[in-house]
């Protein structure tokens, strides 16, 4: 009987090796593309700051929110539709450029503070620390965090609705609550998304990069907002 089972062992070993190769390739490409995506984000932010787009958005927050939602969700839809082609990479980089432009409003506000540059670097360092912590946990822990994803996505929807409502309500306490919750929710989502890539649950590096980029972007933006509120020196 054992003679009939022996031929299946090499096949099983080959399948395991093949899946390991795919997992490592997705991880490598995801990290490279994530690093690359920061370049158009910075360029987009510079365009927003130097062309005055950030001031236009600040003067019309309602319109800016509509443009952001249409642009962001529209590009994300196109990225997912083309994630298996080189066009998907191009659309992802266009998306990160757009997100950089949208970030310029917050950056312009913080740069107007006496210690704005220091706050931006502090927010960047804090975001990097969160990323490193979550990557370490995702790599070392045996616990599966994928069951949290559904609840976290519900939290994201609540954040979006609350953010839109606060455009009209202008409640400082609600704004602070949204930022604190956003950092917590997107940090947890970052853990889930990183673990999915590390464990081989995500086989497309474009989709993986998009998910992780959104986590990092939102952590940075909301951390910078809190630093600007509590640590800003107004001249």
Q: Summarize the confidence of residues 166-187 as an average pLDDT.
A: 92
Question: What is the pLDDT, as a whole number, of residue 217?
Answer: 97
Does residue 15 surpass a pLDDT of 80?
Answer: no
Are 145 and 192 in contact by the 8 Å Cβ rule? The answer is: yes
Is 79 part of any domain?
yes
Q: How confident is the model at residue 219 (pLDDT cuts 50, 70, 90)?
A: very high
Structural domain harbouring 147: 20-231
Which of 37-51 are b and which e, b meaning 16 or more Cβ less than 10 Å from the residue's Cβ?
Answer: beebbeebbebbbee
Structure tokens given for 98: 């757009």
**Tens of pLDDT along 48-76?**
999 989 888 888 888 888 899 999 999 99
Does residue 16 surpass a pLDDT of 90?
Answer: no
Q: How confident is the model at residue 183 (pLDDT cuts 50, 70, 90)?
A: very high
Is 142 part of any domain?
yes
Higher pLDDT, 25 or 207: 207
Q: How confident is the model at residue 5 (pLDDT cuts 50, 70, 90)?
A: very low
Are 222 and 182 in contact by the 8 Å Cβ rule? The answer is: yes
Question: What is the pLDDT, as a whole number, of residue 6?
Answer: 46
Is 72 part of any domain?
yes
Does residue 180 surpass a pLDDT of 80?
Answer: yes
Is 57 part of any domain?
yes
Structurally, the chain folds into a number of domains equal to 1
**Tens of pLDDT along 81-139?**
999 999 999 999 999 999 999 999 999 999 988 888 999 999 999 999 999 999 999 99
Q: Summarize the confidence of residues 176-181 as an average pLDDT.
A: 95
Is 8 part of any domain?
no
Q: What is the pTM of this model?
A: 0.89
Helix axes 116-140, 86-111, angle to 10 degrees: 140
Does residue 14 surpass a pLDDT of 70?
Answer: no
Distance, in Å, from the CA atom of 117 to the CA atom of 176, rounded to the nearest integer, reads 21
Question: What is the pLDDT, as a whole number, of residue 30?
Answer: 94
Is 14 part of any domain?
no
DSSP string, 37-81: HHHHHHHHHHHHHHHTHHHHHHH-HHHHHHHHHHHHHHHHHHHHH
Question: What is the pLDDT, as a whole number, of residue 19?
Answer: 73
Is 15 part of any domain?
no
**Tens of pLDDT along 32-46?**
999 999 999 999 999
Q: Summarize the confidence of residues 4-24 as an average pLDDT.
A: 60
Is 90 part of any domain?
yes
Furthest C-alpha separation in the chain: 83
């Amino acid at each position: 009987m054992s003679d009939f089972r022996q031929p299946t062992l090499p096949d099983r070993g080959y399948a395991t090796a093949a899946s390991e190769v795919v997992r490592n390739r997705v991880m490598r490409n995801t990290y490279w593309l994530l690093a690359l995506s920061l370049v158009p984000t910075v360029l987009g932010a510079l365009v927003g700051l130097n062309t005055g787009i950030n001031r236009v958005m600040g003067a019309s927050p309602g319109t800016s929110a509509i443009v952001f939602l249409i642009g962001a969700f529209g590009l994300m839809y196109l990225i997912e539709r083309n994630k298996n082609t080189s066009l998907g990479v191009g659309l992802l980089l266009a998306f990160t450029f757009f997100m950089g432009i949208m970030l310029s409003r917050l950056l312009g506000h913080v740069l107007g503070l006496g210690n704005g540059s220091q706050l931006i670097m502090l927010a960047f360092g804090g975001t990097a620390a969160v990323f490193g912590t979550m990557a370490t946990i995702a790599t070392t822990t045996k616990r599966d965090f994928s069951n949290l994803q559904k609840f976290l996505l519900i939290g994201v929807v609540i954040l979006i609705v609350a953010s839109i409502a606060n455009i009209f309500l202008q409640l400082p306490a609600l704004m602070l609550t949204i930022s604190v919750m956003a950092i917590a929710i997107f940090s947890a989502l970052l853990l889930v998304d990183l673990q999915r890539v590390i464990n081989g649950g995500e086989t497309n590096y474009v989709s993986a990069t998009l998910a992780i980029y959104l986590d990092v972007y939102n952590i940075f933006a909301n951390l910078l907002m809190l630093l600007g509120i509590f640590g800003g020196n107004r001249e």
